[in-house]
Amino acid sequence: MPVRSAIIGYGRNGSTMHAGPIEKNPDFELCAVCDIDPRALEKAKARFGCAVYTDYHEMLKREQLDFVVVVTRSSQHAEMAADCLLAGVNTMVTKPWATTVDEARLMISAQKVSGKLLLPWLPARWGSDLAALREIVARGDIGKIWRIHRAVYSPGKRCDWQTQREFGGGYLLNWGPHLVDQPLRLAGSPVVSVYGELRQIVNPGDAEDNVFVMCKTEAGITTISEYSTAVDKLPNWVIQGDGGTIFVRGNKIEINRVVYSDAVDGGEYRSGFKTEVEEMTVGGNIYGDEYEIYRHIARVIHGEEQYFASPDDALELSRVLDAARMSSRLGQAVYLR
């Protein structure tokens, strides 16, 4: 039987990133769409021939659903997801799944009461660049990793609700699930402390549009994550090990292995070395293939697999993002352990 599904929030992401994979996957049937915009509902009804609602509570009462996707403004995610879970429906929450740790815990409590699946949407964990980097690091190509820098640069301005704090806007929550989470996955070690700097540079509204987050882990690895107002000419990843450096620009990976001289001349101030360079190109989506992820979600709902991002994982990320905001406000590092 197809998974009877609904989408709450049929905007830019709801109608593309989520509706598309549901539409193309025979394991799903889109039965209902809820949105407050009548034009969005007209488009959904014309596309799917499904029931449409302006009130998600009414939708939950009337429809027999197996799965709901919450793709609304960030400030609405936690309450809506908790309501869906308590109505007995497996629920996926787009990023950021919560604006605070307290909201994350609200959803987790609802999940435990309902016994249904709570699925945080963290698609960048499926990123093709992250997958390739994991293999390179695991091979030991650049030795022991000690620093990971992940960044996106753009001078572009944003003009939608993401510029408003009241709606849960701001780039910490919008980009953090990509840029903070990815290097922490690569580091593979719990975060000990967080330092954050949040600034508003070019966007309208009152939410930050520049984000700098530095985490120190139990394994001694430092991760640096930033979204910065700048022309996009700098690397998106810089990974430093005691045996070399990796640079990533888009889907282009450059591995620089350092080979040191066997002997050090007593008259030299440092050892000699040479650099071996390997270049490679990765295919796929560096932020994750939503069609592949939805195939995985279908298997999860059918009990065939475990979901790739647990609520506890997402809660830990929420703790890091909360700490980054607090650090920016205090002007000092915040310790988690």
Over the chain, what is the mean pLDDT? 96
- pLDDT over 90, % of the chain: 95
- Output the pLDDT for position 273: 87
End-to-end C-alpha distance for the chain, whole angstroms: 46
- In whole angstroms, give the CA distance from residue 177 to residue 96: 7
Q: Where does residue 331 fall: left (phi above 0), alpha (psi -120 to 50 degrees), or beta otherwise?
A: left
DSSP code per residue over 82-126: HHHHHTT-EEEEPSSS-SSHHHHHHHHHHHHHH---EEE--GGGG
Instruction: Note whether 279 and 252 are within 8 A (CB).
Output: yes
pLDDT at residue 269 tops 90: no
Q: Mean pLDDT over residues 153-181, rounded?
A: 97
The three-class DSSP label of residue 291 is helix
DSSP bridge pairs for 303: none
- Output the pLDDT for position 260: 85
pLDDT in tens, 25-66: 999 999 999 999 999 999 999 999 999 999 999 999 999 999
Entry pTM:
0.96
The three-class DSSP label of residue 238 is strand
pLDDT at residue 177 tops 90: yes
- Output the pLDDT for position 267: 65
Instruction: Note whether 32 and 65 are within 8 A (CB).
Output: yes
How is residue 105 written in tokens?
């815990």
On the question of a cis peptide bond just before residue 96, with omega within 30 degrees of 0, the verdict is yes
As to burial, measured by CB atoms within 10 angstroms (0-12 exposed, 13-18 middle, 19+ buried), residue 215 is buried
Q: Please name the residue that has the structure tokens 């719990």.
A: 190
pLDDT at residue 266 tops 90: no
Q: Mean pLDDT over residues 254-278, rounded?
A: 83
pLDDT in tens, 232-242: 999 999 999 99
- Output the pLDDT for position 120: 98
Instruction: Note whether 28 and 294 are within 8 A (CB).
Output: yes
Confidence of residue 200 (pLDDT cuts 50, 70, 90): very high
The three-class DSSP label of residue 245 is strand
Q: Where does residue 29 fall: left (phi above 0), alpha (psi -120 to 50 degrees), or beta otherwise?
A: beta
Helix ranges (H only) for the chain are 19-24, 38-48, 56-62, 77-86, 101-114, 128-139, 171-179, 181-187, 290-301, 311-330
- In whole angstroms, give the CA distance from residue 259 to residue 302: 50
Q: Please name the residue that has the structure tokens 């497996």.
A: 90
pLDDT in tens, 291-330: 999 999 999 999 999 999 999 999 999 999 999 999 999 9
Q: Which residue has the higher pLDDT, 170 or 263?
A: 170
- In whole angstroms, give the CA distance from residue 34 to residue 108: 23
Confidence of residue 263 (pLDDT cuts 50, 70, 90): low
- Output the pLDDT for position 312: 97
Instruction: Note whether 146 and 222 are within 8 A (CB).
Output: yes
- CA distances from residue 228 to 154, 199, 204, 208, 260 in whole angstroms, order as listed: 7, 10, 16, 11, 35
pLDDT in tens, 74-119: 999 999 999 999 999 999 999 999 999 999 999 999 999 999 999 9
- CA distances from residue 188 to 137, 183, 264 in whole angstroms, order as listed: 11, 8, 35
Instruction: Note whether 83 and 60 are within 8 A (CB).
Output: yes
- Output the pLDDT for position 98: 98
- For residue 73, the tally of other CB atoms under 10 A from its CB is 18
